[in-house]
Amino acid sequence: MSTSIPAQHHDDGVSGAPSAFTRVPPQDLAAEQAVVGTLISGGGTASDRYVAETLETGLRPEDYYRPAHGVIHRAVVDLRRAGEPVDVVTVTAELVKRGEITRVGGAAYLHTCVQAVPTAANGPYYAEIVRAKAYRRAVIESAQRVLEYAYAETGSEEEIRGLVERQLTEIVAGTPGLPGAPPAVGDLYLGFVADLEDIQDGKEIGLTYGFADLDTITSGMRPGNVTVAGAASGVGKSTFALNAAVAAAKTGAPVMFSSLEMSETELMVKIVAAEGELALHHLTHQGGLSAEGWETVRRLGPELFQRLPLRVHRPEGASLGDIAAAARACVRDGGLGLLVVDYLQLVEVEQSRTATREQAVASVSRGLKNLSVELDCHVLALSQLNDDGMMRESRAIKNDASVVIKVERPDATEPESPRAGEVDLIIEKNRFGPTARVTVAAQLHYSRFVDMTHT
């Protein structure tokens, strides 16, 4: 945090103003002492609940400005986790065992912290003061990283914009700062057991695709993962994705559908047709809509669209950076559970002249995977199949996907097929279960696929 950017000198000979980063970073050592004193003096006594409430604020050891306070905080937390009593004597012994007692100023400093507590009941309030100062320091660090990158004059404009957006997203989310150490398996175990209970009890793990069998086999669309759905042109990959987007949004999850192929109007027509069970050609031809049809359209407004957390994104450009910028804006404005990209081969990335098309698509695929982790959302990306029924640039795409689904419609190539009206969702890769074939019904006049039980 002590790194500073030197004052800049301009051509007119007037020196720039001193950088704000040369100032003492925001901090409140008195509040830090009061927090640490509360943690030490409250443990194992009638005021233990004040310690619990202080820790429940989410204050972390790295949030303290003075490192010694973070060391003491961590020792207290570890003692409590082990079920040991917490007081000046036990914390001193723990720090001696760790070889850190000198680093914190000795046992005398622990007594100083205890004496600095006006009242343990205010522990949570003191912790919020410390958290607020840590947040301000993190904002300064984020701004400093942006400035350093800008002054370096390296990287493209898109890379700089991406960096700025990431920093802004972290700042607004309140989670910027230096990363902590990865969690230990002991810390992960309780969360794992809770997830396992949900799985065994049949609860939804991820967002629904809108198809019961597909959800059962894949456990739905999980945050931090990517599903790739591939289909030949005209088979219905956009229909599948739009149906999934609406189904997920109906659960209350914020969804962004980024279309590089269809306009907002075309997407709205498809959603209205599917949700209102209105024939597409009635919505797209003059005089095609009956009075009953108009009533259905009007009803969908207050009953569905005014409450559905679904955003339709038609980027001005076609770059991955445009999509990522819109997704981060969604995170800042209410969150994001699912990002749909229609479709991979239309997304543009900066690449060298010698790069192959497969390398370009691999870059998009990897970028979407990173975005799903960064924003803690699921990404459903569509992909075009070639004439042989193979997913274009399939190796690069499949490497980053957790689930790969091929959408096939028997009557697309064989109109007289005995399976006319059926669609196969072929799960070719599934990190959460087996590969399988799920058959659903195509109601393309309504621009939707539905479970066979609904036909």
- Asked if residues 62 and 96 have their Cβ atoms less than 8 Å apart, the reply is no
* Whether residues 307 and 208 fall in one domain: yes
For the chain, give the secondary structure using H, E and C.
CCCCCCCCECCCCCECCCCHHHCCCCCCHHHHHHHHHHHHHHCCCCCHHHHHHHHCCCCCHHHCCCHHHHHHHHHHHHHHHCCCCCCHHHHHHHHHHHCCCCCCCHHHHHHHHHHCCCCHHHHHHHHHHHHHHHHHHHHHHHHHHHHHHHHHCCCCHHHHHHHHHHHHHHHHHCCCCCCCCCCCHHHHHHHHHHHHHHHHCCCCCCECCCCHHHHHHHCCECCCCEEEEEECCCCCHHHHHHHHHHHHHHCCCCEEEEECCCCHHHHHHHHHHHHHCCCHHHHHCCCCCCHHHHHHHHHHHHHHHCCCCEEEECCCCCEHHHHHHHHHHHHHCCCCCEEEEECHHHCECCCCCCCCHHHHHHHHHHHHHHHHHHHCCEEEEEEEECCCCCECCHHHHHHHCCEEEEEECHHHHCCCCCCCCEEEEEEEEECCCCCEEEEEEEEHHHCEEEEHHHC
CA distance 300 to 281: 18
Q: Considering the domain boundaries, does residue 279 fall inside one?
A: yes
Using the predicted structure, report yes or no on whether residue 43 has a pLDDT greater than 70.
Answer: no
Confidence of residue 20 (pLDDT cuts 50, 70, 90): very low
* Whether residues 165 and 280 fall in one domain: no
The pLDDT value given to residue 391: 61
Using the predicted structure, report yes or no on whether residue 248 has a pLDDT greater than 80.
Answer: yes
pLDDT in tens, 185-201: 887 888 788 878 877 77
* Whether residues 378 and 418 fall in one domain: yes
* Whether residues 208 and 144 fall in one domain: no
* Whether residues 375 and 433 fall in one domain: yes
The pLDDT value given to residue 196: 80
Looking up tokens 């969804």 gives 255
Q: Considering the domain boundaries, does residue 198 fall inside one?
A: no
Using the predicted structure, report yes or no on whether residue 153 has a pLDDT greater than 60.
Answer: yes
The pLDDT value given to residue 450: 92
Which strands make up the sheet holding 448-451, listed edge to edge? Answer: 310-313, 255-259, 338-342, 378-384, 226-231, 403-408, 422-430, 436-443, 448-451
Confidence of residue 394 (pLDDT cuts 50, 70, 90): low
The pLDDT value given to residue 6: 33
Average pLDDT value for the chain: 83
Cα-flanking dihedrals φ and ψ of residue 44, to 5°? 75, 10
Any idea what the CATH number is for the domain that residue 428 is in?
3.40.50.300
Q: What's the structural domain count of the chain?
A: 2
The residues near 386 (Cβ < 8 Å, ≥ 6 apart) are 392
* Whether residues 429 and 293 fall in one domain: yes
Report the half-sphere exposure of 239 (CA within 13 A, side-chain side).
26
* Whether residues 357 and 276 fall in one domain: yes
pLDDT in tens, 349-376: 655 555 676 777 778 888 899 899 988 9
pLDDT in tens, 400-447: 899 999 999 888 878 788 888 899 999 999 998 899 999 999 998 899
CA distance 109 to 106: 6
pLDDT in tens, 172-182: 666 544 455 67
The candidate with the shortest Cα–Cα distance to 161, out of 321, 313, 315, is 321
- Asked if residues 79 and 90 have their Cβ atoms less than 8 Å apart, the reply is yes
Q: Considering the domain boundaries, does residue 375 fall inside one?
A: yes
Question: Which of 116, 145, 179 is the endpoint of a domain?
Answer: 179
Q: Considering the domain boundaries, does residue 332 fall inside one?
A: yes
**Which amino acid, residue 455?**
T
The pLDDT value given to residue 34: 93
How many C-beta neighbours within 10 Å does residue 35 have? Answer: 33
* Whether residues 61 and 140 fall in one domain: yes
* Percent with pLDDT over 70 in the chain: 86
* Whether residues 155 and 233 fall in one domain: no
CA distance 299 to 296: 5
Q: Considering the domain boundaries, does residue 139 fall inside one?
A: yes
pTM over 0.75: no
Average pLDDT value for residue range 282-305: 87
Any idea what the CATH number is for the domain that residue 30 is in?
1.10.860.10
Q: Considering the domain boundaries, does residue 257 fall inside one?
A: yes
The pLDDT value given to residue 288: 80
Question: Which of 162, 179, 196 is the endpoint of a domain?
Answer: 179
The pLDDT value given to residue 168: 76
Q: Considering the domain boundaries, does residue 11 fall inside one?
A: no
pLDDT in tens, 93-141: 999 999 999 999 999 999 999 998 988 888 889 999 999 999 899 888 8
pLDDT in tens, 24-37: 889 999 999 999 99
pLDDT in tens, 56-86: 788 899 999 999 999 999 999 888 887 788 8
The pLDDT value given to residue 436: 94
β-strand partners of 381: 228, 341
* Whether residues 273 and 140 fall in one domain: no
CA distance 131 to 150: 29
The pair of three-digit structure tokens given for residue 345, joined into one six-digit string: 């081969």
Write out the residue range of the structural domain in which residue 413 sits: 204-454
Confidence of residue 348 (pLDDT cuts 50, 70, 90): confident
Confidence of residue 270 (pLDDT cuts 50, 70, 90): very high
Looking up tokens 């007692």 gives 101
Query: Among 3-12, 23-32, 263-272, which is the least confidently predicted range?
Result: 3-12
Using the predicted structure, report yes or no on whether residue 321 has a pLDDT greater than 60.
Answer: yes
* Whether residues 293 and 349 fall in one domain: yes
Using the predicted structure, report yes or no on whether residue 312 has a pLDDT greater than 80.
Answer: yes
The pLDDT value given to residue 21: 47
CA distance 169 to 332: 6
Q: Considering the domain boundaries, does residue 6 fall inside one?
A: no
The candidate with the shortest Cα–Cα distance to 250, out of 303, 323, 313, is 303
Cβ-count burial of 38 within 10 angstroms (0-12 exposed, 13-18 middle, 19+ buried)?
buried
* Whether residues 433 and 394 fall in one domain: yes
Question: Which of 146, 179, 212 is the endpoint of a domain?
Answer: 179
